[in-house]
Structure 1
Amino acid sequence: MTTTGNFYERRNARNVKELVCDGKYIEIKDLKLRDDIKGEHISWKYLSKDIPDYPTPVEFHITEVAHVTNKKCIEGILSSCGFLGLDEDSLSWWNLKISDEDITAAEERFIESFFPNSSKEEREAQQPFLRQFTTSPLFRESSRYGNFRFTYQLTELMEAYKEQICVDEEPVLRLYQTKLFKQEIEYVILVHSPKVNRWFKDLPELASSPLVAYDGKQIIWKAQAICETHNFQMAKHENNVVIEPMNSFEFYVWDQLSLAFHIESNKILAFPKRSLDQNPSVCEIDQIDLSNNGSFPSIAEAKEFLESLPEYESKKDEKEENLSGKIKVEDE
């Protein structure tokens, strides 16, 4: 792969127009200065705005990741008990799963960095504020990509990838792409086996990024744009953050981080059936549906479809047998 550092336009596998820069994570402040995306390009309308103060950057420590799919793909995942590398790049795509606890912890880190000299009493007096700003699709329970969400601990996913795809060698993490959509900035981590280093050697390793790090247990990500819709602005009052309603809301870009696991066409990232017992969960489709018509309009319909699948039925039967056996033993 040749890394040019310039943006080029293409349509992705979902037939959505995107601007792509290979091998670099370009921060928002630098994107605003780029001549190759100014003017008529898809993202410039929102990216060029000047937005009132809001929390940025916000450092999240993420331990869970999720893969969302539609009804066209769910049967294959369940029947094979695993994930394939799709499309011409042979990639399996995963997003961060950010919990309420993650948001609370990120808020505490933000306060500590924003007011490094604040007292313990001042920090304790701080009213929660970050949830007023975490309004982008990244923080919603709904999804743009389908009704079925597989959620794993990052360590579990990485360990499975290490054992099966890397044959017990450590996976390599690289800066893959900065991708721009109409209102979204996506930073992509490429995860691959060291056995295919020759294919990706032109891409910098993740350790060189100031925005993202991986410490072997969690992803540490400095989110720059968490709002999408700005209804509030942030202000300082002594050593506390206060939020003020805006006279009118503003749409702006939002950013997210994705992981793309390289899985060659003759391989599968498999999980034992017992680890799939809590997967997948069912979620609503977001207002923007990018699932290629493979979605259900309601959670009830998605759940009914899931429960009709043979793979799901057999899993349900196993649970009922185990529960019946447990009850019988307890009765005895």
Structure 2
Amino acid sequence: MDNIVTRYNRGSKELVFLNEHKSIEELREEELNEHMWRRYLRRRPLLPEVKLTISKLQHVTTKTGVKGIIRNGFKGEYYAIGNCNYGPFSYWSGVVDPEEVETEISDWIEENTELDPSDMNANSPAFSEESLYGNYKFSLDFEDVLNAYEYRFCGGENAVFRVFGMSCFKQQIVYTVVVHSPYEDQFCDFPLLPNDPDNSICGLEDDTIFWWPESVSSFNEYNDDESIDWRKYFVWDHLVFAFHVEHYFQFTKVFLLKHLTPCQLYEVNICMEKETRRTAKKFIKWLKYCNR
């Protein structure tokens, strides 16, 4: 199968690169006649250099999704591309500690004295408390999710991390890491996640996942043709973990409810069951009462 595939995801054009995580600079070298090239690759962005630790994993869903998760666990979904179906996967977003983000960005700005700190804020959607997908957010420690996965799906052995690929949308870049059992051979053709996190978009070192985001602000600086005038554009990137699950990925109800919180939707979102944060908070309170 071709490593570069175009498909449509919820009505949005998605350019998929399988088996690799490309930086913006590497994408620019492709000179692709695609929406992302017209939107942001032709520009010369000011790219931050911050190395962040993935400390938590997050799964955001709707009220319908919450009911199913509390009842049965996290359900796997197949990822269809071309004539291939991969999975089923349980998807989780990588989350970094807010204090680490602030510290790393502040240190980087100090080393780049020509920057105005007000132009480099850690307000990318990847770091936001708001959501594009639903009003209900499960936030678990990375270690807790990994330990539970290895116990249920890996026979207690270490899970395998591989570079699944990346998806480029109009204003979003998604880097996906597949996590699977050492006994699963479906993903043998995908490269292992690098153990050199200082020279890759993300990498594994001493059981810790590191990520180098290339967009930490809601608006990014760029200039054309080495002009002294800097302008702004918007694109954000984030890291997603696709856990291969042969059946439901289950936790106890008490544990799940302990780590479930309401969240506000972005003004522009792709949620099909829109609620207010207040309504979601009341429903979570009711769930906890019913499952005491």
State TM-score, norm by structure 2: 0.84
Q: Deviations over 1:3-24 (max 9, x none)?
A: x43x211123x34321101000
Q: Which residue of 2 aligns with 1:45?
A: 38
Structure 2 residue corresponding to 1:300, chosen from 278, 282, 287:
278
Superimposed CA distance per residue, residues 24-52 of structure 1 (whole angstroms, 9 cap, x where no aligned partner): 011100111213x22xx222232234346
Offset at residue 68 of structure 1 (A): 0.6
Structure 1 residue 164 displacement after superposition: 0.3
Q: Structure 1 residue aligned with 2:290, among 314, 320, 323?
A: 314
CA RMSD of aligned residues (A): 2.8
CA contact (8 A) 1:133 1:232 kept: no
Q: Which one of the candidate residues 168, 171, 183 is aligned to 2:159?
A: 171
Query: Are positions 1:99 and 2:77 aligned together?
Result: no
Equivalenced residues, count: 277
| Structure 1 stretch displaced more, 42-51 or 59-68 | 42-51
Kept after mapping to 2: 8 A contact 1:65/1:96 = yes
* 1:282 CA drift (Å): 0.4
* Secondary structure, counterpart of 1:270 in structure 2: coil
Q: Residue by residue, what CA displacement relative to the aligned partner does 1:61-90 show, whole Å, maximum 9, x if unpaired?
A: 12111111112211001122x212123531
Aligned-partner SS, 1:75: helix
CA contact (8 A) 2:17 2:165 kept: yes
The reply on whether 1:221 has 2:211 as its aligned counterpart is: yes
* Max Rg structure: 1
**Separation of aligned partners in 2, 1:79 and 1:157:** 18
Q: Which one has a larger percent helix, Structure 1 or Structure 2? A: 1
Q: Once structures 1 and 2 are overlaid, which stretch shifts more, 139-148 or 85-94?
A: 85-94
Distance in 2, Cα, partners of 1:69 & 1:272: 18
| 2:186 matches 1:199 | yes
**1:195 to partner: Cα distance:** 1.3
Q: Provide Cα deviations, 1:90-133, integer angstroms capped at 9, x if missing partner.
A: 11111122332121342366369x48xxxxxx9xxxx9948843
Q: Which residue of 2 is the match for residue 29 of structure 1?
A: 25
- 2:239 aligned partner, one-letter code: L
**Change over 3 Å in CA distance of 1:200–1:312 after alignment to 2:** same
**Within the alignment, does 1:156 sit opposite 2:144 as a pair?**
yes
**Contact 1:190–1:260 (8 Å) recurs in 2:** yes
Distance 1:214 1:180 in 2: 23
Cα distance, 1:268 vs. partner? 1.9
- C-alpha contact (below 8 Å) 2:221/2:233 kept by paired residues: no
* Corresponding residue of 2:84: none
Show the 5 A alignment for 1:1-332. Answer: 2=1, 4-5=2-3, 7-12=4-9, 14-35=10-31, 37-38=32-33, 41-51=34-44, 53=46, 55-80=47-72, 82-88=73-79, 89-107=87-105, 110=108, 114=111, 129=117, 132-196=120-184, 198-207=185-194, 210-230=200-220, 250-264=232-246, 267-291=247-271, 293-296=272-275, 298-308=276-286, 311-315=287-291, 318=292
User: SS at 1:152's partner residue?
Assistant: strand
Equivalent residue for 2:83? none
SS in 2 for 1:157: helix
Unaligned runs of 5+ in 1: 116-121, 234-245, 319-332
Partners of 1:103 and 1:201 in 2: CA distance: 34
- 1:211 deviation in Å? 1.8
CA distance in 2, matches of 1:102, 1:50: 29
Contact 2:43 2:222 in 1 (8 A): no
- Give the Cα–Cα distance (whole angstroms) in 1 for the partners of residues 208 and 116 of structure 2: 24
- Alignment check: 8 A CA contact 1:107 1:130 kept: no
